[in-house]
Structure 1
Amino acid sequence: MPRQPNSHLLRRGRYSESGRSYLVTAVVHRRQPIFNDFKLGRLLVAEFKRAHDAGLVNSLAWVVMPDHFHWLFDLNNATLPDVMRQTKSRSTLSINKARGSRDKFWQRGYHDRAVRTDEDLLKMARYIIANPLRAGLVEHIGDYPLWDAAWL
C-alpha cells in the first residue's frame, strides 16, 4: 500500500504541553466502517477510559464514528504522541483479536489541534458530540451509543 502522500506533514510543528487541551482525530485504515459494530466501538472506548484512569489524560468529550474518532482531552502525565501510540496500538490488538484478524487497523498518523481558550473548548465539544447528527446517523444525539462528554 502506498504511503499517504502528506502524512509526514501531520507531525510538523507538533508540540505536547502538559495541562493543555487537545482535540485529536484518527481514521480507520481505508476508512472501513468498523465501528458500525457497537462491540468493536466499545473496545476503543475502553482504551480512552484506560488512558483517563491511568492519569495520562482527562477525557472531556469523545465520539466514535463508523470509520474514525474524535477525542477531546486535557493532556496530563504523557506526551501527545505517547497517548496516541498507546491508544491506537492497544485498540488495534483488542479489536483485531475480537475480529480474528491481524490486519492493519488505523491509518498512519492522526490530526491534533491544541485548544486555546475555554470558549474554544466548548465549541469543540459541541462539534464532537454533533458528529453523528451531521452525518445523518441519528436524528437525536441520545440515540447514538458511542459518545460521551464530561459535562453530562
Structure 2
Amino acid sequence: MSRYRRVRGRTFFFTVVLEDRSSTLLVDQADRLRRMYRTVFERQPFETIAICILPDHLHAIWTLPEGDVDFSSRWNLIKGGFSRGLQAVAPSMSKLKKREKGIWQRRYWEHAIRDDADLERHVDYIHFNPVKHGLVTPVRDWSLSSFHRYVKQGALPVDWGGDMRDIAGQFGE
C-alpha cells in the first residue's frame, strides 16, 4: 500500500498539452519549463503534490493556498512564459487574434481531487504515465517525474509499477 499525504485545501489534477502532439518540446526544453514553473511558484505559491513532464504534455497535482482557487492564472503565466521566445509553427488566425503562438492547446484538463483515494489514483496515474506511453519500461527510468521524490521520501519503493518487460500482453488505449 502506498503512503500518500492527506488531501487538504483545494487540490487539483491537471493535464496540459502541446498543440503539436508529435512534438518533444517539453522534454527538449525541460529546463526552460522548470524555470518558468519556479518563477510562477515564487509569485503565486502552490504545492506540487505530483508532476510528470512528457514529450507533448504534462500532468500535475497542485494544492493551492487556503481560499485560493486561481489555478488558471498560474497556468497562463507558465504557458506564456515558456512560450515567449520560442519559434512556433505558423499559428492560425484565431490564435494570432488571441496573441497565442500555437505552442499549447488553448484549454487544459482540470479535476478537483475529491478525497484521499482519488488523490492516490491520480498520483499513480501521473507516475505510471511514461510507461503507459511506451517511453520507459520501469517507472524509475523516467527522470522528469516526482516519482523520484516519492521514493526518496519512502512513500514508494524504487521498483513501484514493476517492469513492463516482465508482463506479457498489450495494455492501454
Superposition pairs for residues 115-134 of structure 1, below 5 Å?
A: 115-134=113-132
- Give the strand-richer structure, 1 or 2: 1
Higher RCO structure (Cα 8 Å, ≥6 apart): 1
CA RMSD of aligned residues (A): 2.2
Within the candidate set 34, 41, 45, 2:30 is matched to 41
Distance 1:39 1:135 in 2: 17
2:14/2:61 contact within 8 Å kept: yes
The DSSP-based 3-state class of the residue aligned with 1:88 is helix
Equivalences, count: 129
Q: Identify the match of residue 13 of structure 2 among 2, 6, 23.
A: 23
Unaligned segments of structure 1, at least 5 residues:
1-17
Paired residues for 1:3-82 under 5 Å:
19-35=9-25, 38-76=27-65, 77=68, 79-82=70-73
Residue 106 of structure 1 is matched in structure 2 by 104
Question: Alpha carbons of 1:119 and 1:49: their partners in 2 closer, same or farther (altered >3 Å)?
Answer: farther
TM-score (norm. length: structure 1): 0.74
Q: Secondary structure at the match of 1:109?
A: coil
- Structure with greater helix share of residues: 1
TM-score, length-scaled by structure 2? 0.66
Alpha-carbon distance between aligned partners in 2 of 1:53 and 1:129, rounded to the nearest angstrom:
25
Q: Is 1:88 matched up with 2:79?
A: yes
